[in-house]
Structure 1
């Protein structure tokens, strides 16, 4: 099988029944009765998620802007890249990413490209994340966004890409978007280059939007 034929494709198996046993503030849990290829019907539970964006912000010195934040489900403080939910259905993901970079780091960027698109845990959640590459950084104008809860304890740092790669491969950095984003950045640099990445408004079938 050649590389050009290896790609994910849309497919939807028949659902005989569906119910939502839990609804939270931003996400919910759905139970579907799915027809298998042999005709049997099995139950599949999964989290329904609005989708997210993340930003790998790369400065002129080859450093990535990262934040350290407490994550209660895993009981750890994780180094991450700025990220956030797509709060409004059909929201333009670029606008959401620009908002998150401003709110979490008080930074703006002039050059935006799509680094990669991922499903975080497709066996149990339908969350789709678009990871952007942001370059030509500068401090944002105006007052800083007022943070609360876990975000009030966040730390900011700028870390060389090589240090992040070492941390990922050593098992010291675990955040999905940071790991995928940093390794995708290195792959792009060693491949066709960062300028060959998709434009910031490239279509995103997993979360369609209006440009």
Structure 2
């Protein structure tokens, strides 16, 4: 039985598996799901990749707020994309915040204080699962979106701009970009960025964010 008791799961046909070393990475399957009221099948083609995390990093310097993004080639869309530092949740203990901090360090070189990291998706109503689902019609991926705010010298901004990072042995070829936050919403079509902006602005409007210390 599915979480929604109006639906019944009859069978699952595994169509493809991509392994990440010794563990399952991506899974493609077709589920036969029946609507109990009508007796009809509902769409059940699934690309399963599991939970992920992403971090909106905002750095204030000399009166300007900047966002830290990563740029890398994304083969499915055939272009370079400016994105939030992000990664799949592969921690067996489910340490979401810890995974977010590790991804930031790997992709930007920045080490974040976990106490200063805010879970933006935790502000969503519990009924949502307190995660963002970027493509629920075909993929199970849920994303925890986090926020980090800090104050830095302009030298740090200059050092980050254009920095090349990533786990090269994993095929990651990443370049860091630092852009003014005021223009961020127009500079990328990455759904993680746009969702994080929306959550950040609404949380700020409603006074839910801690005060940024000097």
Q: TM-score, normalised by structure 2?
A: 0.74
Aligned positions of 1:18-37 closer than 5 A? 18-25=12-19, 26-36=25-35, 37=37
Q: For 2:106, what is the secondary structure of its paired residue?
A: helix
What is the deviation of 1:190?
A: 2.4
What is the deviation of 1:42?
A: 4.3
Aligned positions of 1:3-18 closer than 5 A? 11-12=4-5, 13-18=7-12
What is the deviation of 1:74?
A: 0.2
Distance 1:46 1:137, change over 3 A: farther
Aligned residue among 79, 85, 106 for 1:76: 79
Q: Is the 8 A contact 2:91 2:99 kept in 1?
A: no
1:151 alignment counterpart? 172
1:134 alignment counterpart? 148
Per-residue CA shift, 1:121-161, capped at 9, x if unaligned? 0000110100111123778xxxx764346522x22122121
- Distance in 1, matches of 2:14 and 2:205, equals 45
- Distance in 1, matches of 2:204 and 2:82, equals 22
The answer on 1:107 being equivalent to 2:105 is: no
Distance 1:146 1:136, change over 3 A: same
Q: TM-score, normalised by structure 1?
A: 0.75
- In structure 1, the gaps of 5 or more residues are 1-9, 197-211
